[in-house]
Amino acid sequence: MSVLSAHQSTLLVVDMQTGLLPAIHDSDALLHRAGRLAQAARLCKVPVIATEHWAQKIGPTHPELVAHIDQVLHKTHFDATREPDFLPSLPKQRPKVLLIGTEAHVCVLQTGLGLKRQGYEPILVTDCAGSRKPSDWLAAQARWDHYGLERITAEMAMFEWLDTPANPVFKAVLTLVK
Amino acid sequence: MSVLSAHQSTLLVVDMQTGLLPAIHDSDALLHRAGRLAQAARLCKVPVIATEHWAQKIGPTHPELVAHIDQVLHKTHFDATREPDFLPSLPKQRPKVLLIGTEAHVCVLQTGLGLKRQGYEPILVTDCAGSRKPSDWLAAQARWDHYGLERITAEMAMFEWLDTPANPVFKAVLTLVK
Amino acid sequence: MSVLSAHQSTLLVVDMQTGLLPAIHDSDALLHRAGRLAQAARLCKVPVIATEHWAQKIGPTHPELVAHIDQVLHKTHFDATREPDFLPSLPKQRPKVLLIGTEAHVCVLQTGLGLKRQGYEPILVTDCAGSRKPSDWLAAQARWDHYGLERITAEMAMFEWLDTPANPVFKAVLTLVK
Amino acid sequence: MSVLSAHQSTLLVVDMQTGLLPAIHDSDALLHRAGRLAQAARLCKVPVIATEHWAQKIGPTHPELVAHIDQVLHKTHFDATREPDFLPSLPKQRPKVLLIGTEAHVCVLQTGLGLKRQGYEPILVTDCAGSRKPSDWLAAQARWDHYGLERITAEMAMFEWLDTPANPVFKAVLTLVK
């Protein structure tokens, strides 16, 4: 029962790759929101980690996002936590992992469940996650609920990370909310 | 497991200010329902408290509502419970705080979670709360559910506050339901 | 965790009165489904009890339903369980009370919560309950969920009451499902 | 809290019969997705069992599905677990039973609840289950949730069964996802 705080959060960008995004429902808006959230994360000193799935086949993370990402991890499992280098690469002392990306019902979902099993608190940012079919995106949210996991929107995260009006990046983050 | 009772309730109007309302989805209908609910609250002797966020920038509470409000509290935090004078200003012996206002996923949500942490029972009045984007309004409800908090509509509150047909304001409140 | 059984069920028709139904959203279809469910209840020996709210003002139960009702109880409270003669009139040994009628978010909801407090298992038949506004009908379902109460549809009830294909009313009930 | 694994799963195709499917909402798409899921099950060595309800009246399982089914069981109860030969016919050591078919709110739902009572973990594949009326399909999902049961989509199952990219049927299953 608490709002997010920036110092406890990591933002995980799952497989937002050039070869997959065009097939995702409403991907332009999704990419736009994800970019804003990643920028806000950086302003609030929230680490931004990305995964790329078989990058040699599916391509790199979308160029609009790359500038806002601290580290890219490669994976071949749908569930990133099964890659040996994934969990060791996550920032320490940050139990809350906000997940965005594609597809909401495959790699985002499986990675979220994997993180939960490892003791993290995965949080789905619903309006920055997508699937090719909206019905799969909705079903992913229902399954997230089934396991008692939390889901939020990009703006919830941004306003909660800000914490107080004394935050020096207050105005800079607000300009990202449109 | 119980319906509301007027003597246990406070109505909290969050940031329904002139500078914010025009950006809110379907704000005219929202304002109309909120006004009716505030009038019913007054008839049922439910205290009506309002918050205003940075009033010098965002403007005062909408004039249609002001006449039905007992007290206005200023705030600069999104979560009103973090203002030193907020909790002491809430009426005593009234554990149930019905929240209405804007934005549903920011100040209304954060204040609701803050009230819960302080031992209150926050209740979201969904059809009197709004966000700029309907998707954020819906996501706020899902998060309310995630934390096991209750959500109702304006009419539920009005009919539950009435309690018995012997209530002397019975007819007056019914005329507000249209 | 069980399907319904006819011998444990009562069907409660809440305030389906001539003076209220015309204001209810999609009331013709609602009335049609309610009539079918009441007929199925009678075939399956499920008692059908109706409430009427201020009948002298709001009129009697709709004539299409009256023939399928065993007993009509008058009430002036929204929550029927607050009328002294209501609970004593309910059939004994039937813990499951299926609620249909209007309005879903006022008398149906308040009576359901009252029944739960009295030890019954209220079950909302969502497609036989209505409100003037669809948003109130939806919110009633969410509140039903909040309290951990069950909700079903008319067809679920009918097929579960039938129990086995050896039921002598099997064909008669199936003809009601269209 | 875990993704599916093929060796723990059985796919149960409920009553997808020629005499019932034409009345089901959006049945062509339903049949298509069900066929793909059954093919993926076979590739992943997940047993595929089908029920047929009164086959002499309602007809056989749809020919598009028959080729992908290991065993057909006849039933006259809505809840298949009430047939004496049903539970003994289920593959052993496979606690997770994925249910698809028709109608979502009658035979699929009742069989799911029956399986849960018998110690299985029933999982509804929502986009491969259907009812004549979409409102009944939605209500079936809500009741599934009410009992704490899980629901997924066909693609979730297929990607989770695959488990690792080293799976020799990896490419064959991916071609079924379109």
The answer to whether D156 contacts A106, with C-beta atoms less than 8 Å apart, is yes
Beta bridge partners of A9: A96
Provide the token pair at D154: 């066909």
D1 has pLDDT over 80? no
- Assess if residue D1 is contained within a domain: no
Residue B5 to residue B91: CA distance in whole angstroms: 15
Beta bridge partners of A12: A49, A99
For residue A32, what are the contacts with CB-CB under 8 A and spacing of at least 6? none
Scanning every residue of chain C, which has its alpha carbon at the shortest distance from the alpha carbon of D118? C1
For residue C121, cis peptide bond before it (omega within 30 degrees of 0) = no
What is the model's pLDDT at position D2?
A: 83
Scanning every residue of chain A, which has its alpha carbon at the shortest distance from the alpha carbon of D126? A139
What is the model's pLDDT at position C2?
A: 83
For residue B121, cis peptide bond before it (omega within 30 degrees of 0) = no
What is the model's pLDDT at position C172?
A: 96
Taking CB atoms and an 8 Å cutoff, what residues of chain B touch C143?
150-152, 156
Summarised one tens digit per residue, pLDDT across range D94-151 is 999 999 999 999 999 999 999 999 999 999 999 999 999 999 999 999 999 999 999 9
Q: Is B121 helix (H, G, I), strand (E, B) or coil?
A: strand
Taking CB atoms and an 8 Å cutoff, what residues of chain D touch C121?
none
D67 has pLDDT over 80? yes
Element (H, E) at A173: helix A170-174
What is the model's pLDDT at position A46?
A: 98
- Assess if residue D130 is contained within a domain: yes
What is the model's pLDDT at position D13?
A: 98
C-alpha triplet A24, A147, A135: angle, nearest 5°: 30
Structure confidence at residue A2 as a pLDDT band (50, 70, 90): confident
Scanning every residue of chain D, which has its alpha carbon at the shortest distance from the alpha carbon of A82? D164
Q: Give whole-number Cα distances, D90 to A159, D9, D42, in Å.
A: 51, 11, 16
Residue in B76, B105, B135 closest to A165 by CB: B76
Per DSSP, helices labelled H in C9-54 are 27-43
Residue D111 to residue D78: CA distance in whole angstroms: 7
Structure confidence at residue A146 as a pLDDT band (50, 70, 90): very high
- Assess if residue A36 is contained within a domain: yes
- Return the DSSP state at A32: H
Residue in A77, A133, A142 closest to D165 by CB: A77
Q: What is the 3-state secondary structure (H, E, C) of D81-147?
A: HHCCCHHHHCCCCCCEEEEEEECCCCHHHHHHHHHHHCCCEEEEEEEEEECCCHHHHHHHHHHHHHC
Residue C171 to residue B70: CA distance in whole angstroms: 63
The answer to whether B135 contacts A152, with C-beta atoms less than 8 Å apart, is no
Q: Distance from B139 to chain C by nearest Cα, in Å?
A: 14
Beta bridge partners of A75: A53
Please, what are the averages of pLDDT over each run of 10 residues along chain C (178 residues)? 93 98 98 98 98 97 96 97 97 98 98 98 98 98 98 98 95 92
Can you tell me the mean pLDDT for A20-40? 98
Scanning every residue of chain C, which has its alpha carbon at the shortest distance from the alpha carbon of D136? C153
Summarised one tens digit per residue, pLDDT across range B78-108 is 999 999 999 999 999 999 999 999 999 999 9
Taking CB atoms and an 8 Å cutoff, what residues of chain D touch A139?
126-127, 151-153, 156
Residue in B150, B153, B165 closest to C146 by CB: B150
- Rounded percentage of chain A residues whose pLDDT exceeds 70: 100
Q: Say which residue, C165 or B36, is predicted with more confidence.
A: B36
> How many structural domains compose chain B?
1
What is the model's pLDDT at position C1?
A: 72
- Assess if residue A1 is contained within a domain: no
Q: Is C148 helix (H, G, I), strand (E, B) or coil?
A: coil
Can you tell me the mean pLDDT for A122-144? 98
- Assess if residue B28 is contained within a domain: yes
Residue D112 to residue D151: CA distance in whole angstroms: 11
Residue A100 to residue A123: CA distance in whole angstroms: 9
Beta bridge partners of C71: C49
Summarised one tens digit per residue, pLDDT across range D149-158 is 999 999 999 9
Q: Please name the residue that has the structure tokens 């379902």.
A: C141
C-alpha triplet C108, C111, C113: angle, nearest 5°: 110
Per DSSP, helices labelled H in B16-104 are 27-43, 55-58, 63-66, 86-89
Q: Distance from A132 to chain D by nearest Cα, in Å?
A: 9
| ipTM of the complex as predicted | 0.96
For residue B85, the domain's CATH number is 3.40.50.850
C-alpha triplet D150, D153, D156: angle, nearest 5°: 95
Residue A67 to residue A38: CA distance in whole angstroms: 9
Taking CB atoms and an 8 Å cutoff, what residues of chain D touch C156?
105-106, 109, 136, 139-140, 143
What is the model's pLDDT at position D38?
A: 98
Residue D131 to residue B152: CA distance in whole angstroms: 30
Residue C166, domain extent: 6-177
Residue A38 to residue A17: CA distance in whole angstroms: 15
A72 has pLDDT over 80? yes
What is the model's pLDDT at position C83?
A: 97
Sheet holding B48-53, edge to edge: B71-75, B48-53, B9-14, B96-102, B121-130, B150-152
D85 has pLDDT over 80? yes
- Assess if residue A59 is contained within a domain: yes
What is the model's pLDDT at position A120?
A: 98
Helix, strand, coil shares of chain D, percent, nearest 5, are 45, 20, 35
Q: How would you label A39-71 residue by residue, b for 16+ Cβ within 10 Å and e otherwise? A: bbbbbbebbbbbbbbebeeeebbbeebeebbee
Sheet holding D121-130, edge to edge: D71-75, D48-53, D9-14, D96-102, D121-130, D150-152
Interface mutation vs chain D, best among A102, A105, A118, A141, most D CBs within 10 Å: A105
Structure confidence at residue D178 as a pLDDT band (50, 70, 90): confident
- Assess if residue C26 is contained within a domain: yes
Can you tell me the mean pLDDT for A50-68? 97
Q: Which long-range contacts (CB under 8 A, 24 or more apart) does A69-72 make?
A: A69/A13, A69/A38, A71/A47
Q: For chain A, what is the largest distance between any 2 Cα atoms, rounded to a whole number of angstroms?
A: 46
Q: Distance from C122 to chain B by nearest Cα, in Å?
A: 13
Structure confidence at residue A4 as a pLDDT band (50, 70, 90): very high
The number of beta carbons lying within 10 Å of the beta carbon of residue B82 is: 16
Summarised one tens digit per residue, pLDDT across range B114-142 is 999 999 999 999 999 999 999 999 999 99
B112 has pLDDT over 90? yes
What is the model's pLDDT at position C64?
A: 95
Taking CB atoms and an 8 Å cutoff, what residues of chain D touch C165?
54, 76-77
